[in-house]
Amino acid sequence: MDFKEEQTQEIEILQSIYPDELTFLNDSQTQFQIRVNLDTESERKHALNLVVKYPATYPEVIPELHIEVAEDEEDGEYDNEGGSNDYDDDDDEDEDEEAKQTRLALNMAETIEYERSDLSKLLSKLNEEAEIGIGMPSVFTLVTVLKDEAESLFNEKLAIKNKEFERRRNELERIEQQKFQGTKVTRESYNEWRLKFRQEMKFEEKDRLKMQQMHGGRLTGKQIFERGLAGTEDEDEGNGGVEGDELAEGVKGLSV
């Protein structure tokens, strides 16, 4: 196999497919990058650069690959790590929480960035595909795989952020509702509160003073009645049962 011829032919094909996206990084045209524009839900255009370097024996071995976040084509306001000046949290320190949450909900897709861990994950996937394609030119296939995987990863990250946003919003709503609901009252908690309240207000002492004032220190009718019954029983017991015995004997004599 003529490795150089295989590489040259692939370069010609890639130039015809990506006339504006392919950029050579050396004079020998063995190292180049292809800008991969992604289709995402965000208004901001995301793109990744696939950097390719041909080993001398490519395509009998896999190419050397590297992935990096591409700069914005219009004004380059996004750095090479995917940082954004438009959605920096430092710019809204004075913004209240409700306004911030509303803004995030409307622009959630604009907050998605490709981090180093994401690029590493994508690179691992490309190396696996390159291993499968050993023996044949594979750069076009790798570009296609990178585009599909990166767009899928974007959607996954967006779904996670939306889920986290919903969780935080529900938590804030729950906290706000608790301010108006207060603590749920049960029979046990009410009785505990009532006892403590009466002790603090000294209601028992006030009731006793009020009773003494109303009755001049005398017993109530109920108290007199209850104590009268108790006194009768005590008197019967104090007589040793004599009156009972005499009454029994009298009834016995009548019956005879």
The pLDDT tens digits of the residues spanning 212-239 come to: 666 665 666 666 666 565 454 444 444 4
51 pLDDT higher than 60? yes
pLDDT in tens, 67-87: 999 988 764 444 444 444 444
Question: What's the CA angle centered on 131, arms 126 and 134, to 5 degrees?
Answer: 120
The domain limits of the chain are 3-181, 185-230
pLDDT at residue 92 greater than cutoff 60: no
Rounded Cα distance between 170 and 189, Å, is 28
Contact 3/130 with Cβ under 8 angstroms? no
Whether residue 42 has pLDDT greater than 80:
yes
User: Who wins on pLDDT, 176 or 89?
Assistant: 176
**pLDDT exceeding 70 applies to what percent of the chain?**
65
Distance CA 108, CA 169 (A): 14
Give the pLDDT score at 171: 78
Segment 138-150 mean pLDDT: 97
What is the predicted pLDDT for the residue at 208?
72
Instruction: Report the alpha-carbon distance of residue 251 to residue 245 in Å, rounded.
Output: 10
Both ends of the chain: CA-CA distance in Å?
A: 145
In this predicted model, which residue has the larger pLDDT, 90 or 121? 121
> Out of 3.30.420.40, 3.10.110.10, 3.30.70.890, 3.40.140.10, which CATH number does the structure's domain 3-181 have?
3.10.110.10
H or E stretch at 65: strand 64-69
Please determine, for residue 242, whether its predicted confidence score (pLDDT) is greater than 70. Answer: no
From 142-151, 183-192, 194-203, 221-230, the region with the lowest mean pLDDT: 221-230
Residue 122: pLDDT band with limits 50, 70, 90: very high
What is the reported pLDDT for 199?
80
E strands, 1-63, are: 22-24, 31-37, 47-53
How far apart, in Å, are the Cα atoms of 136 and each of 5, 12, 31, 130, 214?
12, 15, 18, 9, 111
Would you state the pLDDT for residue 136? 94
Query: Which residue, chain included where needed, has tokens 């392919």?
Result: 22
Q: What CA–CA distance (Å, rounded) separates 240 from 206?
A: 43
